[in-house]
Amino acid sequence: MSDRIFSSTTAATGTDGAVAQAVRAALCHLPGVDEAGSAHLVGLASDMAIMSLLALSAYLMLLVGRVSFGQQAFFGVGAYGAGVMTAVFAWPLPMALLTGMALGAACSWLLALPTMRLSGLNYAVATLAFGEMARIALSWWHWQVPSPDGPVGPAGLEGFRDIRWLLENDVAPEVYLLLTLLVLAAVLGLLMAHERTRLGVGLRMVGQDDLLTASQGVPVEQLRLLAAAAAGALAALGGGLYAHRTTYIEPALFDPMLGVHAVGYALLGGLGTALGPLLGVVLDLGLLDASRILPGWRMVVFGGLVALFLRWRPRGLLDEVLVHRISQATSRLLRSRSPNPPPTQNQQTTPGNRTNQSTSP
């Protein structure tokens, strides 16, 4: 991932409402955090939430057995699409984000159609090539319309400036952070709610063995198309949120390293649950980048961690085995703390609501 996407500290500013003041006050209570530090933490947390959406899009593709190095393309499509809707057509932000998601889902679905039968390295190279094609196409896109403050819209290599919806609506960075976290929580809750459903199990079956899954009557191709469309929509949602946070985007931001990092977050955090990619983002942006451990060596450390995990824990930190163990341990803990534990096999309840110990014959 290009460090340029995180080096920008430009964020929308707005009126200091009660919510923004409460967020700043809460952050200033952290050890060693002052007013300037709280502003940095707000920007960092916003970036982490946005990149978590991109990591979740790569996670969906990995679930169905596809390594996609092109998710940055849908991130860029969502950023430009949502930016045009608010800056050029003056649409509300929610409608602009939904439009960007629709564009990302359509592009990802159209890419999945001709690459359906590719797998492994062939599919990864195809997505990487598409990502570069999309970046070049965005660098050629020059379409600006007049406005009271001057021309607005994509300007090719010069980028897309003045995406000012947050400024025009007096949305403070702290409020936007809470909105971004709310969107992430909704997406995460939706994914986790489907993990144990027929759909979620089917996606994992496709990723483990598509031939065996197809022999059991599961529509493998339809599930992969669905996963691709959903992954494109999530990446585009993150791009739309990012464009409005920074107010400026350019094609160079959506380079191949952004897609590589998205896959790395999912592989590092784990594929056993949707929480895994978020853990990968926290380890990289929250630990290596924010704390400035080994300055200048962040990319090397992150790449080394991914390589080690591919060797020793190919399914990441939170793999299926660890998630199952945690789930069982949590269930036992909850049963032990229950005030009225259910009867065991050695107990039976009489009609008079008395529980007697059963005796052996």
DSSP string covering 104-149, please?
A: HHHHHHHHHTTTTT--HHHHHHHHHHHHHHHHHHHHH-B--B--TT
Q: Is 356 exposed, middle or buried (0-12, 13-18, 19+ CB in 10 A)?
A: exposed
- With contact defined as beta carbons under 8 Å apart, do 282 and 244 qualify? no
Q: What is the pLDDT of residue 340?
A: 65
Mean pLDDT of all residues in 13-22: 67
Mean pLDDT of all residues in 319-335: 88
Exposed e or buried b per residue across 231-252, where buried means at least 16 C-beta atoms within 10 angstroms of its C-beta: bbbbbbbbbbbbbbbbbebbbe
What is the percent of the chain where pLDDT is above 70?
87
How many H helices and E strands in the chain? Answer: 15, 2
Compute the distance between CA of residue 284 and CA of residue 159 in angstroms, rounded to an integer.
27
| pTM score of the predicted model | 0.87
pLDDT digits (tens, 9 = 90+) for 231-288: 999 999 999 999 999 999 999 999 999 999 999 999 999 999 999 999 999 988 887 7
Which residues are bridge partners to 155 per DSSP?
142
Mean pLDDT of all residues in 80-98: 96
Q: What is the pLDDT of residue 357?
A: 44
pLDDT at 109 over 80: yes
356: part of which helix (H) or strand (E)?
strand 355-357
pLDDT at 339 over 90: no
Give the pLDDT band (50/70/90) at residue 191: very high
DSSP string covering 217-240, please?
A: T--HHHHHHHHHHHHHHHHHHHHH
93: part of which helix (H) or strand (E)?
helix 93-112
Rounded to whole angstroms, what are the CA distances from 251 to 83, 243, 287? 13, 12, 27
pLDDT digits (tens, 9 = 90+) for 32-81: 677 777 888 899 999 999 999 999 999 999 999 999 999 999 999 999 99
Domain 4-338 belongs to what architecture? Orthogonal Bundle (1.10)
Q: Is the pLDDT higher at 39 or at 298?
A: 39
Give the pLDDT band (50/70/90) at residue 1: very low
pLDDT at 16 over 60: no
Q: What is the pLDDT of residue 135?
A: 96
pLDDT at 343 over 80: no
Radius of gyration of the chain (CA): 23
Mean pLDDT (the chain, rounded)? 86
Give the pLDDT band (50/70/90) at residue 108: very high
Mean pLDDT of all residues in 180-208: 94
Where exactly are the structural domains of the chain?
4-338
Mean pLDDT of all residues in 313-323: 89
